[in-house]
Structure 1
Amino acid sequence: MSRGKIARYVGRGLAIVASLTVSAALIYAQSSNDTVPKPTETTKAAPPAAPPPPPAGGVRIADPAEVAALAANVPMPSEGQQFTFPLPTGVTPESGLQVKTIWAARTIGVLFQEIKTIYGYRQDPLRWHPEGLAIDVMIPDYHSEAGILLGDQVAGYALANAKRWGVNHVIWRQKIYPGVGGGNWTSDYGNETANHYDHVHIATDGGGYPTGRETYFITSMTPAPPD
């Protein structure tokens, strides 16, 4: 079954398909633009406002209220809902990743169809990417209102699934959101990538490397990873 078909099925079950939210924002923006009169010879259109500069300083750790607020904006499936379609391999290169990281990457790739690039394993001075514990979800048009909304939804969904995926921390827009593992990771800073303005970084506790027998679903995986 294609990723698109699975996304449509899951969207009906979850009642959240991030693409619908973003599309609604874009439709609203378009309809608002239609009501603005076109500039005449005597009236010039105002230039677009420049995006606000990033806050000074480095990445900071969010307090518990900020973590809860971001996660609360993402509806979660009820315990009784069953999703029988396995998640396909998506846009994430899975070589070197551990099972909970793969599970998170596949789920995000199916539910958030706007996401076209997710990075995983790479060499790095910190342990998360080299040990297959982290993914970087690249946010398209991340300066725009729609891009920020999409990043908020991805980060919020990861935090809402912190227990299921063993999320240690999420980093988005110069802020670390601790998960179930405490989230004491700190970042170099100085540009938008280091400050995580163009991507959502999600780190899990891994769950071990895949054996090839795993099947991933939205709310479960088989065989289940060890506690």
Structure 2
Amino acid sequence: MLLVSTNRSASSRGRWLAFGGALVVSAGMLYAQGTEPHCCVKKVAATAPIAAPAPSPQPAPAAVPVAGPPRIASAAEVQSLAADAPAAAQSFQFALPTGVAPESGLQVKTIWAARAISLLFPQIATIGGYRQDALRWHPSGLAIDVMIPDHTSPEGIELGDQIAGYALANAKRWGIDHVIWRQKIYPGIGKPSWTANMGNETANHYDHVHIATDGGGYPTGHEIYYIGSMTPTPPA
């Protein structure tokens, strides 16, 4: 099997992961600030004057009411607020950078999958793409081979499991046709089955996860790839 490796600075992918994490943290901070009790409630409670008795025998004036603790919103109120929130505030989209897979000869959904896997699994240093083969998947730009480091170790097997599972979880979005990992083929929708023994660990997919899509056509150069969506042309 001929694979093309593209090295990329781990710090570059780290910055993208840190950026995504920062967005989530920022959103959490904004939510926490939004749920803080209003400042003025605290001040009224702390400085409300205490009524003094009148010097005459007449009844003393009523005490100034003191603000109590803020009321906790009901579940129905919270759901109503969430429903009214602008959609843009709930989505932190950013374009996926080019990953470690060489994209020449790949179709758009295959590129999309390769970029997402490169970003979310920085342990991956090599992803094979277009190549000549007896089957149509690689020559047609429909498949990538995600090479698993230390693939015989428990950590390597777990990493391969995660990547295969992630691809299958996005089967509808990426148009996954099938995934092959550790001599078992998983259709995008349906039950897995064992593959024939091809005689070595590479042919039996023990050292890499093979991911095949339905392609979506060859890129025009104007595509923008996100984690959850893809646009065929730049926005106006």
Cα pair 1:11 1:111 within 8 Å, conserved: no
Map 1:4-15 → 2, pairs under 5 A: 4-10=14-20
Is 1:147 the counterpart of 2:143? The answer is no
Give CA-to-partner distance per residue, 1:87-109, whole Å, 9 cap, x none.
Answer: 11111000000000000000000
Is contact 2:183-2:197 (8 Å) kept?
A: no
Quote the residue 1:128 is aligned against: 137
CA 4–125 in structure 1, closer or farther in 2 if over 3 Å, else same: same
Match of 2:13 in 1: 3
The alignment partner of 1:200 has SS state of strand
Distance 1:14 1:202, change over 3 A: farther
Q: Which residue of 2 aligns with 1:160?
A: 169
Are positions 1:210 and 2:216 aligned together?
no
Aligned to 1:115: 124
What SS does the corresponding residue of 2:166 show, helix, strand or coil? helix
Q: What amino acid is aligned across from residue 7 of structure 1 in structure 2?
A: L
The structural deviation recorded for 1:192 is 0.2
Query: Relative to structure 1, is the Cα distance of residues 12 and 116 closer, same or farther in structure 2, using a 3 angstrom cutoff?
Result: same
Alpha-carbon distance, 1:183 to partner? 8.6
What amino acid is the match of 2:91? Q
Tell me which residue corresponds to 1:171: 180
Within 2, Cα distance between the matches of 1:209 and 1:187?
Answer: 31
Is the contact between residue 160 and residue 208 of structure 2 (CA under 8 Å) also seen in structure 1?
Answer: yes
C-alpha distance in structure 2 between counterparts of 1:218 and 1:145, whole Å: 28
Give the TM-score of the pair, scaled to structure 2.
Answer: 0.62
Q: Distance in 2 between matches of 1:157 and 1:12?
A: 22
Sort the Cα spacing of 1:193 and 1:85 in 2 relative to 1 into closer, same or farther, 3 A: same
**Alignment of 1:223 onto 2:232:** yes
TM-score normalised by structure 1 residue count: 0.64
Between the two proteins, the alignment pairs up a number of residues equal to: 161
Max radius of gyration: which structure? 2
Secondary structure class of the residue paired with 1:5: helix
Describe the superposition over 1:122-168 as per-residue Cα deviations: whole angstroms up to 9, x where unpaired: 00000000000000000000000000000000000000000000000
Relative to structure 1, is the Cα distance of residues 118 and 126 closer, same or farther in structure 2, using a 3 angstrom cutoff?
Answer: same
Following the alignment from structure 1 to structure 2, what is the Cα–Cα distance between the partners of residues 95 and 185?
A: 31
Q: What's the CA shift for 1:5?
A: 1.7
Partner residue in 2 for 1:89: 98
Deviation at 1:9, TM superposition (A): 3.5
Seen in structure 2, the aligned counterparts of structure 1 residues 88 and 149 have a Cα distance that, compared at 3 Å, is same
- Alignment equivalent of 1:201, drawn from 200, 210, 222: 210
Write the mapping of 1:11-160 to structure 2, written as runs, cut at 5 A: 82-160=91-169
> RMSD of aligned C-alpha atoms?
2.8
- Indicate if the aligned counterparts of 1:169 and 1:181 stay in contact, CA closer than 8 A: no
Query: Aligned residue for 1:192?
Result: 201
Secondary structure of 2:186's counterpart equals: strand
